[in-house]
Chain A
Amino acid sequence: MNYISITQNQRKLMLQRVDAASTDELYEVVPESVRLDSVPKVTGGMSEIDLSRQLAELANINVAAHEYTSFAGAGCYDHYSPAFIDHLLRRPEFFTAYTPYQPEVSQGTLQAIYEYQTGICELTGMDVANASMYDGATALVEAAFMALRLTRGKRKVMLVSEALHPEKLETMMTYASSELIDPVFVPVNDELITDSQAFLSLLEEYAGEVAAVLLPYPNFFGIIEDVSPLIIAAKEAGAYVVLDTNPIMLGLLKRPAELGADIVVGEGQPLGSAMSFGGPGLGYFACTQKCVRQLPGRLVGRTTDVDGNRGYVLTMSTREQHIRREKATSNICSNHALNALIAGMYLAAVGSKGLKDIATDCVTKAHYLRNELLTTGLFVSPKSDNVQSFGYEFPLVYTGSLPITLWHDELFERGYLAGVILAEGSLSNEDEGHLDDTADNSAETSLVLFATTEKRTRAEIDEFVQVVKDLG
């Protein structure tokens, strides 16, 4: 099957019209030395029936989330996505369209993105949101580059909390290797939060050089840190404030704008996108009005047509690569528009109350799970006193008898994805990267990050805790 509907006879007619004896003749310009004499060796030419069978077989090798009970998060969450979303997503007018460069026949995409931008502004309290980035990690990096431009390249230092997702930190390191930005990492203390003392002294050490501080809200470990004093100090130091957020928690928490954020980013997968083994999700990106000229990515604005009707266009494109080329605010072209469409639909579906209720439900279940796990006696809090300021994700140290990976595998065998192992054994292992700093370096520690979404039931949690208890 090659989806070509032109017949051999039609091909002959077309060849006559272009005055060629064969299609090979059209490739005469290609040097002989690089012309293939055989086709690429790839498996294919399968019928749809055979291929769909093979797809089902490969899919069945994997263990999908409906076949186990998930307590894993760590940047990708098993939230519920309403049934209607996929029905709308399958409308070819949405998914088979290109970027809306011809606005007269792209009003559907444009208006949907405009509504998505509105939703992200509402969640974050910011003035402007772009039409999406690839993911939360690239959104965070773009925020750093934006701060570099906002400070006219005079400030290169980015104070980056190590309490952000480790893969976001790694992405930041990659983008920093061209030395345009200079990330300075703020360590995590033994409470698994940004070390505020270290933060303040780094702010002082790099006085006049810090373009932005990049802080988590909540952090990778699910903890809502006391970011306000850090934000105040950063602002006094003339740095831009970037908050990395979880969009479900924004249904419950004070909005980043009220805390003084200049730029707000986050991974938007929780807003209705499938986990899909980690991608595609979407990066949301919002900022204050005064930063808008330096915003990366596409932006939809409202205007009117010649008849005075309301309509939408891609706007302020002079920031973008197709116009500004090497001086563009980013190289991004394709973004994650379809995931933004999903997020817009999701926000409409839940409304303010639904989002708050769902967030509350997630948090309530997480706190319940944590208490229940602690009562088994097999876990301790990574910090001496009992940290309660977390959302729907929390870390615990497993102190049971099994090696942590075996413990995790045993539970998976029993139908549970028992969180995400953050560190095992001695944490001095270099391969663990930034996670080195996440816990006590001396102990044989097994740090596990658990999450609960609204999809988990009390029965599931109770059964899980019982199985954990039995396993020891």
Chain B
Amino acid sequence: MDKAAITPEVHSDASYNCSYRGPKETIYELSEVGRSCLEAPASELPNLDLKAIPLLSDYLATDEEGPTLPQVTETDIMRHYTHLASMNFGVDGGMYPLGSCTMKYNPRLNEDAARLPGFASLHPYQPEYSVQGILQIMHELQEDLAEIAGFDATSLQPSAGAHGEYAALMAFRSAHLVRTEGKTARNKVIIPDTAHGTNPASVAMAGYQTVTVPSSSEGLVDLDALRELLDEDVAAFMLTNPNTLGLFEPQIVEINEACHAVGAFTYCDGANLNAILGVARPGDMGFDALHINLHKTFSTPHGGGGPGAGPICVKEELAPFLPGPVVTKFTHGDTGLDLYTLAMPENSIGRVRSFYGNVSVMVRAWTYIRSLGGDGLKDVAHQAVLSANYLRVVLQDHFKVAFDTTCMHEFVLTGAPFKDAHGVRTLDVAKRLLDYGFHPPTIYFPLLVDEAMMIEPTETEPLKDLDAFADAMIAIAREIKETPELLQGAPYTTPVRRLDEAAAVRNPELRWRKD
């Protein structure tokens, strides 16, 4: 294909202007005998003859038996990873409108905060009186998240959204057992067909059966269909609100009431909390529990896949079952000072991991809340929703909007008409966007929408970036009609081009080996 044809016509200084670098050998292939980077400190003690120690000696590896790791210098490493970095797209590079992922800007103050030695260099078992600062932050975060989401108590222990889902389901299990004096934890959990995959997977790990309720033609919970499914075997109903189509559930209060009427708990997947910060609270809607993705709503970085944090907030009845430890505050008798301590909730489901959760992520989220305050959080939601609606309106003449109504912080397009008319799939559109310098939206989710493209711009995108993205999408819509083969071959400008995923599965090469 000739170069002029594949280079997008629409260029904008908003698009990612990094000159990607091409494929690179692994660090293992850079290895040269005798090179090193980090060495052990100079020996100050007489050699300990490990081979003379009974038992231990039986388990010592010979040199031949040990691991083969690269022999490289610091320069090699810096060059290597700098090259790798240049093959990546991040939020700082350009717009990253992944639906349901809330790829907002990651403030640098938060990064520095997490790295302060007073937070980063604490041992989890050092005396509590020596960690009052971090415990205060954790306690304030617990309280703030409960206030923002409308709940009574928070556990910061879960490491990610899915981990929070699991923990809440286990709390429901315990609460049902307490309610029925040990007779039953019930056996079913209902989820909508638009649910994130983690919901049913967490349900399974918590030992429940998943029952799926189909959405209505408006892309909302079909309350009648839900009522049909609700009975006294239902432990819980899980719902993302706004849902994964970017729509707020207008019957949310009735939905929660219907579930409560049969004694089921309701769970809010908080992935989309960004849309309603300071506007409405899941707790007020009647939900019994929710998780919050600090790495979405509260601006902590996604880290190429993690670590995030998935704290859960619950209503009073569930508070005793929260995973722990959690931080509690008390007033010191003699001095009247506020002090903080780690404690297990009364009937805790127990730990869901070691220690107290992803503390450095908590520091970032706390810093974000202190930066924004209540008014700032409300601005976030209003702008996120306005930006999404703006893009929806700008794009609706060029793409089919799956559910054409005012959306919340994200909306879903369907590429189905292009597939039928031009043989161009959503995957092709996504890959072509890469040539225009944008990260594609979430694609093929939610499953309900054929050839879905789920677009979430977030509040932090400047207007000119939103416009540049829209221009790119519109240019691609034109290309679909004029040069569909161009899209089917995209991308052209990335470090590698389309990858053979089927071959990766057929013939798995999951680690580097010396040939």
- With both beta carbons as reference points, the residue of chain B lying nearest to A341 in the complex is identified as B304
Which residues of chain A are within 8 angstroms of B12 by Cβ–Cβ distance?
Answer: none
Task: Choose one: A3, A10, A34, A114; the contact of B281 (CB below 8 Å).
Answer: A34
Whether a CB of chain A sits under 8 angstroms from the CB of B96 is yes
A119 touches B69 (CB 8 A): yes
B40 touches A454 (CB 8 A): yes
Give min CB distance, B348 to chain A, whole Å. Answer: 9
The residue among B162, B305, B392, B498 with the most chain A CB atoms within 10 A of its own CB is: B305
Which residues of chain A are within 8 angstroms of B489 by Cβ–Cβ distance?
Answer: 306
Whether a CB of chain B sits under 8 angstroms from the CB of A443 is no
Whether a CB of chain A sits under 8 angstroms from the CB of B390 is yes
- With both beta carbons as reference points, the residue of chain A lying nearest to B31 in the complex is identified as A351
Known: A30-B279, A302-B512. 20 other contacts (CB 8 A): A6-B387, A40-B147, A60-B118, A88-B77, A109-B304, A173-B350, A174-B352, A250-B67, A252-B50, A252-B60, A254-B61, A255-B61, A304-B499, A310-B496, A311-B496, A324-B201, A326-B201, A328-B201, A368-B45, A389-B56
B359 touches A277 (CB 8 A): yes
- Could you tell me the distance between the alpha carbons of A358 and B355 in the complex, rounded to whole angstroms? 26
A27 touches B385 (CB 8 A): yes
A309 touches B134 (CB 8 A): no
Which residues of chain B are within 8 angstroms of A313 by Cβ–Cβ distance?
Answer: 499, 501, 504
Sampled A-B contacts (11; CB under 8 Å): A55-B116, A128-B511, A277-B123, A301-B509, A334-B302, A334-B306, A338-B307, A352-B69, A355-B67, A409-B127, A420-B125
Whether a CB of chain A sits under 8 angstroms from the CB of B107 is yes
Which residues of chain B are within 8 angstroms of A358 by Cβ–Cβ distance?
Answer: 38, 40
* Chain B interface residue number, banded: 35 or more
Which residues of chain B are within 8 angstroms of A128 by Cβ–Cβ distance?
Answer: 510-511
Give min CB distance, B318 to chain A, whole Å. Answer: 15
- Could you tell me the distance between the alpha carbons of A380 and B26 in the complex, rounded to whole angstroms? 50
Task: Choose one: A88, A177, A357; the contact of B170 (CB below 8 Å).
Answer: A177
Give min CB distance, A356 to chain B, whole Å. Answer: 6
Give min CB distance, B133 to chain A, whole Å. Answer: 3
Interface string of B62-90 (1 = CB under 8 A from A): 00011111111010011011101111111
Query: Which residues 261-306 of B sit at the A interface, judged by CB distance below 8 A?
Result: 276-281, 284-285, 293, 295, 299, 301-306
* Chain A interface residue number, banded: 35 or more
- Could you tell me the distance between the alpha carbons of A463 and B414 in the complex, rounded to whole angstroms? 70
- Could you tell me the distance between the alpha carbons of A405 and B127 in the complex, rounded to whole angstroms? 10
- With both beta carbons as reference points, the residue of chain B lying nearest to A91 in the complex is identified as B85
Whether a CB of chain B sits under 8 angstroms from the CB of A447 is no
- Could you tell me the distance between the alpha carbons of A46 and B509 in the complex, rounded to whole angstroms? 50
Which residues of chain A are within 8 angstroms of B281 by Cβ–Cβ distance?
Answer: 34, 36, 40
Task: Choose one: B40, B87, B117, B306; the contact of A111 (CB below 8 Å).
Answer: B87
Which of B223-231, B369-377, B416-424, B479-487 lies at the interface? B369-377
Whether a CB of chain A sits under 8 angstroms from the CB of B55 is yes
Whether a CB of chain B sits under 8 angstroms from the CB of A11 is yes
Task: Choose one: A82, A309, A316; the contact of B496 (CB below 8 Å).
Answer: A309
Task: Choose one: B301, B367, B371, B505; the contact of A316 (CB below 8 Å).
Answer: B505
- With both beta carbons as reference points, the residue of chain B lying nearest to A457 in the complex is identified as B44
With A35-B280, A44-B374 known as contacts, the answer to whether A326 contacts B69 (CB < 8 A) is: no
Which residues of chain A are within 8 angstroms of B39 by Cβ–Cβ distance?
Answer: 350, 354, 357
B160 touches A332 (CB 8 A): yes
Whether a CB of chain A sits under 8 angstroms from the CB of B463 is yes
Whether a CB of chain A sits under 8 angstroms from the CB of B386 is yes
Which residues of chain A are within 8 angstroms of B305 by Cβ–Cβ distance?
Answer: 98-100, 109, 113, 131, 298, 334-338
Which residues of chain A are within 8 angstroms of B161 by Cβ–Cβ distance?
Answer: 333-334
Interface string of A352-366 (1 = CB under 8 A from B): 111111101101110
The residue among B37, B107, B445 with the most chain A CB atoms within 10 A of its own CB is: B37
Query: Which residues 18-60 of B sit at the A interface, judged by CB distance below 8 A?
Result: 20, 22-24, 26-28, 31, 35-41, 43-45, 47-48, 50, 53-56, 58-60
- Could you tell me the distance between the alpha carbons of A318 and B100 in the complex, rounded to whole angstroms? 21
Interface string of B346-384 (1 = CB under 8 A from A): 000111111111111100000101111111111110110
